[in-house]
Amino acid sequence: MSPFYFILNNFSLVLEYAMNHISLVLTVLVLSLSFWIFTGLIISRYDRLASAVISFSNILFCIPSISLFGLFMTMPGFGLGRKTAVVVLVLYAMMPLVRSVYLGVKSVDASVVDAGRGMGMTTSQILLKIRIPMAWPMIFAGIRVSVVLITGIATMATFIGEKNLGRLIHQGITRGNADMIIAGAIIVSLMALLLDYIMGRIQKKIVSPGLRFQPGD
């Protein structure tokens, strides 16, 4: 039996896991954007604080996901389930989002900022009308990275009770079922690619061609 036939024969189960997976990813994405974009904007004004926050995010990112899931699972108020999964995944999204916002804002040409001040703009106006719009391409690049990252790491949440696509891979390994493993891996990969494609299309719509950030620039 091939992975394709496995999916067809277990379509309702695969669909349930896929919907749970995408709902987890979207929940984490909304919360991550709310927390980390704001954090990135705040630390862009304080270099010492920025260094500490970015270092902390780098340390978190280096911790294996299964270890971080296990650590939070043992904390009071967390345990098994979606709450723990969401918190851990939001923490993993911290590094790419905070860094992209901070670096994007700091990379804005000082002469443009000075021109804004010369026009009588306040600090808030400079942030909203100059820094953020010019940093937006780099910020959006960080968002795209976070979406793909979250989609992949979310599979590990199956070990703390999440019924998502990671369960297909885990149960496939446990049962020695290669078709089950491959089916789960293919669907997760396609989901990540699809989300990245959608984000790319959104980027083309909302970012001016002259400001688009290309990786490697």
**Residue-level pLDDT at 8:** 86
The verdict on residue 213 lying in a domain is no
**Residue-level pLDDT at 208:** 62
Give the CATH number for residue 177: 1.10.3720.10
Domain that holds residue 185: 3-207
pLDDT tens, position by position, 88-99: 999 999 999 999
Phi-psi group of 169: left, alpha or beta (phi > 0 → left; psi -120 to 50 → alpha; rest → beta)? alpha
Q: Residue 21 above 90 pLDDT?
A: yes
Q: How far is CA 196 from the centre of its chain?
A: 11
Q: Residue 214 above 60 pLDDT?
A: no
The verdict on residue 185 lying in a domain is yes
Structural domains counted in the chain: 1
**Residue-level pLDDT at 194:** 93
pLDDT tens, position by position, 146-183: 999 999 999 999 988 888 999 999 889 988 888 899 99
**Residue-level pLDDT at 1:** 58
The verdict on residue 191 lying in a domain is yes
The verdict on residue 212 lying in a domain is no
- Provide the whole-model pTM: 0.85
Q: Where would I find the beta strands (DSSP E) of 20-90?
A: none
Of 29, 24, 33, the closest CA to residue 156 belongs to: 24
- Please name the helix (run of DSSP H) or strand (run of DSSP E) that holds residue 196, with its range, or none: helix 178-206
Q: What is the DSSP letter of 135?
A: H
pLDDT tens, position by position, 39-76: 998 998 888 899 999 999 999 888 888 889 988 988 88
Residue whose token pair is 């979606």: 82
Of 84, 82, 65, 64, the closest CA to residue 74 belongs to: 84
Confidence of residue 20 (pLDDT cuts 50, 70, 90): very high
The verdict on residue 215 lying in a domain is no
- What residues contact 68, with CB distance under 8 A and at least 6 apart? 60, 88, 91, 92
